[in-house]
Structure 1
Amino acid sequence: MKHHHFAFLLSLLAPIACLSIASRVHASTQPTLSPATTAAQADLVEIRSLVPDMAEDIKYAGSDNFVGRPVDGYRAARCYLLRPVAEALARVEHDLRRQHQRLKLFDCYRPARAVADFVRWAHDLSDQRTKAAHYPLIDKSQLLGTYIASVSGHSRGATTDLTLMQCNARGGHCRPLDMGTHFDYFGTLAHTDATEATATQHANRQRLRAAMQREGFVNYSMEWWHYTLEPEPTPHTIYDVPVE
């Protein structure tokens, strides 16, 4: 990584933020930006190296997301996590398959440069293309104050966004369970224990939470899809290795 790029990213950490839909922050310690420039240097491993047929729909590598375009730092639709996190997630997947269920991943490790891209988008109030789908009940001008935290937990390599699918008796024809909202919906209905959710949606969210908790993943209560392995392997370090 070039020195000027490294310094630029460090300067972003204090004044800018990532959407809280992607954030769990250790408030007492300012995070350190790792100098790693490759996944191997950061000990980030692709989940499909452990589960070759893991279901994925990596949203920020395409245009089906709240910014409406590929996000900076996502050069491929892949899920990377720190090795202990990937191994724990693989155990969740294998356990679920015995029950004819599977996970589907929306996001995993997120480069620090993607954080800056999100913030640039949030400041551009003229861009309202995704409002109807992602923040229909909230004015975009409120996102920075309500859905912003200091640093994205995803950049620490221990957090993943996902859902649960039910498959047939042969483990095929899997379909996502009804969780009440799609991924990256800004609003109270996305809260894991939202009172607006139906009984079926609550039950599905609880199935997902129970499966993840068995391997040490903790849910972020404002987002039914957001899970972090705790304790985190590198709780005070963030990474900017591109997803490629």
Structure 2
Amino acid sequence: MKPSVLFVILLVLASCRNETKPSEKGQNKKDTLKITENKVVMEQITDTTPTLVYKSLEGLADTTFVRLADYSGDFAYDLRYATENNFLKAKVYDCAECYTRVKTAKALLKANKEFIDKGYKIKFFDCYRPNSVQYKMWKIVPNPQYVANPVKGSIHNKGGAVDITLVTLKGEELDMGTDFDFFGKRAYHDNLDLPQEILDNRLLLKTTMEKHGFWSIRTEWWHYNLSAGSNDKVANFKWDCPE
């Protein structure tokens, strides 16, 4: 074999090795391509995620019962009577849901919007309460100081009362001085012998709720009645629970 031919063969082999072994620069380009591809996939997943669409209260009669979570995702819930974590020490709801009359829901949505603008939102402990549940509660604690007599009923049974507190937008409860359903002087609105932070938190809740048509009970910082709901009839509407 002539030397010139051998030189050409060696040159070709060296060229093949350079083509099959990726350079550092080429490897970086490949990695960048992978990242770019992953980014595209992530963007596609984000773009195809369905957006929750909430119902509108427009056109509904004021006395219609509605599930509040169907009309806004901006509330928080800790519905105590669907658990044993309450003063009754008993579960009296079959499942946890927050229903109100339409007019109550409209007022709550407006109040919550104002709270959100200030960095807070409403958290519910109790909402509409079927009259049959009121009878259960009365059987456990037959004391009108703590439980309304079911024969007459309460505004909870009319869909016009809520038990609430405030939480930050991250879900942290504001200090109100006592837990929900604490029956004692420390829970009274007119008890001013409390730290200023607690008084300020209660005042924020009270003034905002009153601005939107609710009134409070002197002995319970968490309880609010819609003024326009006090004349409605006691109801025993029951919601369906998931199977």
Which TM-score tier does this pair reach, normalised by the shorter chain?
A: 0.5 to 0.7
Asked if residue 217 in structure 1 is aligned to residue 214 in structure 2, the reply is: yes
Amino acid at match of 1:52: G
- Mapped to 2, the partners of 1:79 and 1:200 lie a distance apart of 29
Aligned to 1:154: 156
- Residue 189 of structure 1: how far off its partner (Å): 1.2
Instruction: Tell me the equivalent position of 2:168.
Output: 166
Distance (whole Å) between structure 2 residues aligned to residue 58 and residue 174 of structure 1: 15
Q: Deviations over 1:86-123 (max 9, x none)?
A: 01101111221111111101100001111111111125
**Which residue type is aligned with residue 49 of structure 1?**
D
Q: How many residues align?
A: 176
Q: In structure 2, the residue corresponding to 1:237 is in which secondary structure?
A: coil
Distance between the aligned counterparts of 1:115 and 1:186, measured in 2? Answer: 18
* Structure 2 Cα separation of the partners of residues 217 and 202 of structure 1: 19
**C-alpha distance in structure 1 between counterparts of 2:90 and 2:171, whole Å:** 27
Give, as a single letter, the amino acid of the residue that structure 2 aligns with 1:87: K
CA distance in 2, matches of 1:115, 1:145: 12
TM-score, structure 1 normalization: 0.67
Query: C-alpha separation between the residues in 1 aligned to 2:87 and 2:226?
Result: 25
Long gaps (5+) in structure 1: 1-39, 124-143, 168-172
The residue number in structure 1 matching 2:52 is none
Corresponding residue for 1:240? 236
**1:48 is the counterpart of 2:47:** no
Alignment of 1:67 onto 2:67: no
Greater Rg by CA = 2
Residue 236 of structure 1 deviates from its aligned partner by 4.3
What amino acid sits opposite 1:95 in the alignment? E
Q: Aligned partner of 2:233: which letter?
A: T
Report the CA distance between 1:149 and its aligned residue.
Answer: 3.9
Sequence identity, in percent?
A: 31
Task: Please say if residues 67 and 97 of structure 2, whose CA atoms lie closer than 8 Å, have aligned partners that are also in contact.
Answer: yes
Alignment of 1:118 with 2:137, yes or no, is yes
AA aligned to 2:146 is: Y
Matches for 1:222-233 after TM superposition, within 5 Å: 222-232=219-229
**TM superposition score normalised by structure 2:** 0.67
Matched position secondary structure for 1:201: helix
Residue 79 of structure 1 is matched in structure 2 by 98
1:201 is aligned with what amino acid? I
Other structure's SS at 1:238 match: coil
The structure whose residues are more often helix, as a share, is 2
Distance in 1 between the 2:91 and 2:120 partners?
A: 29
Paired letter, 2:215:
V
Higher RCO structure, 1 or 2 (CA under 8 Å, sep 6+)? 1
User: In the TM superposition, what is the alpha-carbon distance from 1:162 to its structure 2 partner?
Assistant: 0.3
Q: Deviations over 1:156-205 (max 9, x none)?
A: 101000001133xxxxx231111011101111111122244322211110
What SS is found at the alignment partner of 1:118? Answer: helix
Kindly report the root-mean-square deviation, in angstroms, between the aligned alpha carbons of the 2 structures: 1.9
1:207 to 194, 204, 207: 204
Do the aligned residues in 1 keep the contact of 2:157 with 2:236 (CA within 8 Å)? Answer: yes
CA offset digits 1:36-65 (Å, max 9, x no partner): xxxx9x611011122124211111111111
SS at match of 1:106: strand
Q: Distance in 2 between matches of 1:85 and 1:160?
A: 9
Give the secondary structure class of the aligned counterpart of 1:162.
strand
TM-aligned CA distance change 1:196 to 1:54, over 3 Å: same
